[in-house]
Amino acid sequence: MFDARDAFAAPAAPAPTLREDYRAPDWLVPDIALGFDLDPARTVVRARLSVTRNGEHDRPLRLEGEELELLSLTVDGERREPVLEDGRLVVALGGAEAVVETEVAICPEKNSQLMGLYASGGILCTQCEAEGFRRITYFPDRPDVLSRYRVRLTADKARYPVLLANGNPVEQGEAGEGRHFAVWEDPFPKPCYLFAVVAGDLACNADRFRTMSGREVALGIWVREADLPKTALAMQALKDSMAWDERTYGREYDLDRFNIVAVSDFNFGAMENKGLNIFNTRYVLADPETATDADIDAVAAVVAHEYFHNWSGNRVTCRDWFQLSLKEGLTVFRDQSFSEDMGSPAVQRIDQVRTLRAAQFPEDAGPLAHPIRPDSYLEIANFYTATVYNKGAEVIRMMRTLLGPERYRKGTDLYFQRHDGQAVTCEDFVKAMEDASGVDLSQFRLWYSQAGTPTVRARLDQSGGRTALHLDQSVPPTPGQPAKQPMVVPLKVALIGAASGREISPERLVVLREERQVEPFANVTEPAFLSINRQFSAPVIVVAERKAGEIEALAESDTDAFARYEAGQELMQRDLLAAIGGGELRTEAVVTAVAATLRSNALDPAFKADAIALPGESLLIEKLDAADPARVHTVREAMRRAIGVGLKDDLSRAYMGTSRADPSSLSGEAKGLRRLRGATLGLLAAADAGLGRTLAARQYASARTMTERQAALMVLAMLGGEEAEAALADFYGRYESDPLVIDKWFAVQASVPAEETLDRVEVLGRHPAFTLANPNRLRALAGSFAGTPAAFHRADGRGYDWQAEIIVAADKLNPQTAARFVAPLGRWRKIEPGRAAKMRAALERILREPGLSKDVLELAGKSLG
Ligand code: 0A1
Ligand code: ZN
């Protein structure tokens, strides 16, 4: 029925895509030939698609396209008048196969979304995952359409001397008028999201790798000439990754060359395009003078991650985007295992769990909660989340724990062999694990469908001369999922003698499957302490009933390094939350535990650094119902001060001891010492600003690594005053020409936990070096600011207003990156009512903005609830 009001109504809300609506593609494209006439202002793309009808049907071929100027269409050589429906090119075809050719023009230099073909610092490059290929040419842009690609690139030779695409180079030469061409062929059928081309004036760090079957692979890392010296660490990580995947998973590289290109403008970390990974410079360029140890570790992890995708993602890919965790959860688990094998497993695990708690637990507890295999989306780019990636990795890790390493490996072997060259589902992965191991994973599958972090309550009952572990579990309601079923929770458990401090019941795997379960421990009669969820064997919240002195004892003597760290954190959290809740701040137990950690001869310095760090303000806020962020900050600072005052001598001694770290070494020992140097300096400064300034200024001036320099700068910035301004000015001058370091300059200032930080952030937003167009710079300012509760949650709400304005402004250029800053505003449910109302108002203001992207619309809408 016609209703006149409809004509004036706001545009209809976009319809979500549902997992249950999946249908196989109507048409397949086994082969595609692409020709690019590259030019930043106007690139012409010719595509020749060989299409075949998939099954019995009479539906037309539908090709997605976005911001394309269609120049021509032919079918089997005959010109056709194009038919466009909702932006799709609809091509009626009679037979079982056809050759469809299109010619389109696109404008890379105006592409500020950084999806499709775009320009970054004089380089032309592409980003196609998830749905960017449609911004290059008309195509069935979905991951279950796999094609063999032949790509011909033509470009101005002086401006773009290097022309790269997926696969192997087959031809190159002159094209007249100062232009040249190159032809690349990729023999492996791939979904279009793995397509990539690059053109630029690039220098190459070239190396080789001999695979386990003796093939030579040519490796190249392509960057601006001046950046070549900063590629050595990434190259080493690449070779280590290739060898590791052969050793650990039996996976060999399959092409004759493997290229990595670094670009400055990139929405995410990096992209695993087949044989041609494209990276954010942040995850390629690193040396100890300009990158911190954490940055350097991240380079190795991301290089490994993208390389591992060659099997987990590329050779075996996803059927549809709801299956994203199939490739991402598995690949994150693989890169985590790589990092554990290359460094200290316990310290790596602590870092992984910190990330999970900081990014994923809040997501799972808030309005954006979704299962690792989501059921619906408006904009798939919004589902590249900590849940899909990091919780997804925890789910794979749990399967390995349940099956054991040998059967897990049999499972991955079967998975890769059975599905090589296919686009499959999470279910296919679980099935391969079951078939290879004989283990029934029916109930385990709930981890794929149920959102929310389970809480496990644990009580060690030692009454009546017997010992039994009482467990119960509950999974909280999440949007669209009011009631949950009990999950499979693999808990590694040991009992520690209360008197002896020794393991009186060695570690065992307790698998919780019921809502309530009792696990007897035979032959344990002496009083015991409970060491549970060792190594963080399950991504759950454990609430254990503790005996007097239990946590304190475990923080000092748990035999599992991770559990020991956990006990220390639990202790700090207990006393912090009690004081935040209105009680008196008790610091003795924490000070004693920190002292024991600092004085221990057995612990390595990196572990000490982690163990003496207090839980972050964001994490504490998550534990509260109506948090007052100012009070959280005050109490946490008071605890830091108490540690600093109480342990000044220990901290000074530890601090001085760390100066022996060899600045030229990236060994675990040297990195650990530098980490401890930063942690001890922070606590000393919290107790005595004068001393902190002196030490930090000295450390800043004499620093030989960015790890030391940045840590000193952060402490100075927190203390404020002339020294801070001098150091900040020096830092800027010293590194003005290095954008990745200037990002740090923005990030440090936006991370100072104080209300006045907002004033500085406002000024920085108008600084000539600030730009909304570069995602790294935007993250450095807006991401850091939102991650600093004491500043972001100013009582007057101006922090939220600033954030909302930035989101709206950035959305006009780059919706994907703008949307990344919405979630912090959605945490209002955890914040006291006054601020919460202001957070909601900021979200409402965003939603009233005309022309909002689907990306921001989806997240702001859900955040408001
Ligand atoms: N697959 C990549 C992540 C990625 C996703 C989207 C991108 O463009 C918007 C870029 C990268 C990974 O897991 O590393
Ligand atoms: Zn990935």
Confidence of residue 58 (pLDDT cuts 50, 70, 90): very high
Question: Is residue 287 assigned to a domain?
Answer: no
Band of residue 6 on the pLDDT scale cut at 50, 70, 90: very low
Residue 268 Cβ < 6 Å to ligand 1: yes
**Hey, what amino acid is at 53?**
R
Which residue's alpha carbon is nearest to atom 6 within ligand 1? 129
| Pocket-testing residue among 126, 131, 268, 328, ligand 1, by greatest number of atoms within 8 A of Cβ | 268
| Domain identity same for 352 and 383 | yes
Boundary (domain end) residue, out of 427, 449, 471: 449
Q: Are residues 170 and 268 in the same domain?
A: yes
CATH number for the domain including 532? 2.60.40.1840
Longest CA span, the chain = 93
Ligand 1 in reach of 131 Cβ (< 6 A): no
What dihedral angle (degrees, nearest 10) is formed by the CA atoms of 10, 11, 13, 19? Answer: 180
Q: How far is the CA of 266 from the centre of ligand 2 (A)?
A: 14
C-beta 272 within 6 A of ligand 1? yes
Catalytic: which of 66, 103, 272, 306?
306
- Please tell me the predicted confidence (pLDDT) of residue 5: 43
> Are residue 115 and residue 98 in the same domain, yes or no?
yes
267 close to ligand 1 (CB < 6 Angstrom): yes
Q: 751 CB under 6 A from ligand 1?
A: no
pLDDT reported for residue 458: 99
Residue 100 to residue 83: CA distance in whole angstroms: 14
Cα–Cα distance for residue pair 27/8, rounded to 1 Å: 38
> What does pLDDT average to over the chain?
97
Task: Report which protein residue has its CA nearest ligand 1's atom 13.
Answer: 328
- Asked if residue 555 and residue 532 are part of one domain, the reply reads no
Q: Looking at residues 10-32, what average pLDDT do you find?
A: 91
Shared domain check, 657 and 641 = yes
pLDDT of residue 260: 99
Asked if residue 212 and residue 81 are part of one domain, the reply reads yes
Q: For residue 743, what are the domain limits?
A: 736-865
Q: Which atom of ligand 1 is nearest to the CA of 127?
A: 8
The token pair at 268 is 């995410």
Give the nearest ligand 1 atom to 331 CA: 13
SS3 585: coil
Known catalytic membership, residue 723: no
CA of 273 to the centre of ligand 1 (A): 10
Say yes or no: CB of residue 269 within 6 Å of ligand 1: yes
| Pocket flag, ligand 1, residue 428 (CB < 6 Å) | no
177 Cα to the center of ligand 2, angstroms? 41
Ligand 1 atom with the smallest distance to the CA of 384 is 5
Q: Hey, how many other C-beta atoms are within 10 angstroms of the C-beta on 592?
A: 16
Residue 11: the pLDDT is: 56
> What pLDDT score was predicted for residue 584?
98
Question: Is 298 part of a structural domain of the chain?
Answer: no
The number of folded domains in the chain is 5
Judge if the beta carbon of residue 328 lies within 6 A of ligand 1.
yes
Please give the model's pTM, rounded to 2 decimal places. Answer: 0.98
Is 759 found in the same domain as 666? no
Residues 63 and 209 in one domain: yes
Query: Which of these, 269, 363, 378, 280, lies nearest to 321 by C-alpha position?
Result: 378
Q: What pLDDT is stored for residue 130 in this prediction?
A: 98
Query: What is the structure's pLDDT at 14?
Result: 86
CA of 403 to the centre of ligand 2 (A): 24
Instruction: Indicate whether 9 pLDDT > 50.
Output: no
What is the pLDDT at residue 94?
Answer: 97
Q: What ipTM does the predicted assembly reach?
A: 0.98
CA of 538 to the centre of ligand 2 (A): 22
**Count of beta carbons in the 10 Å neighbourhood of residue 563:** 26
- Nearest alpha carbon to residue 410 among 418, 525, 376: 418
> To 5 degrees, how large is the angle CA 365–CA 366–CA 368?
120
Q: Could you tell which of 136, 384, 387 is best to mutate to test the pocket of ligand 1, judged by most ligand atoms within 8 Å of the CB? A: 384
- Is 727 part of a structural domain of the chain? no
pLDDT-derived band at 636, boundaries 50, 70, 90: very high
Q: Is 591 in the same domain as 639?
A: yes
Contacts by 224-228 with C-beta closer than 8 Å and gap 24+?
224/121, 225/201, 227/203, 227/262, 227/281, 227/285, 228/203
422 CA distance to ligand 2 centroid (A)?
18
> Is 145 in contact with 167 (CB distance < 8 Å)?
no
> Quick one: which atom of ligand 1 is closest to the CA of 327?
13
Q: What number is the average pLDDT over the span 840-865?
A: 98
CATH value at residue 570? 1.25.50.10
| pLDDT for res 12 | 64
Residue at a domain's end among 418, 434, 449 = 449
pLDDT digits (tens, 9 = 90+) for 466-501: 999 999 999 999 999 999 999 999 999 999 999 999
Q: Are residues 800 and 675 in the same domain?
A: no
Please check whether residues 128 and 276 belong to one and the same domain.
Answer: yes
Q: Ligand 1 pocket, 816 CB below 6 A?
A: yes
Q: How far apart are CA 790 and CA 782, in angstroms?
A: 14
Evaluate whether residue 693 is within a structural domain.
no
Q: Are residues 367 and 219 in the same domain?
A: no
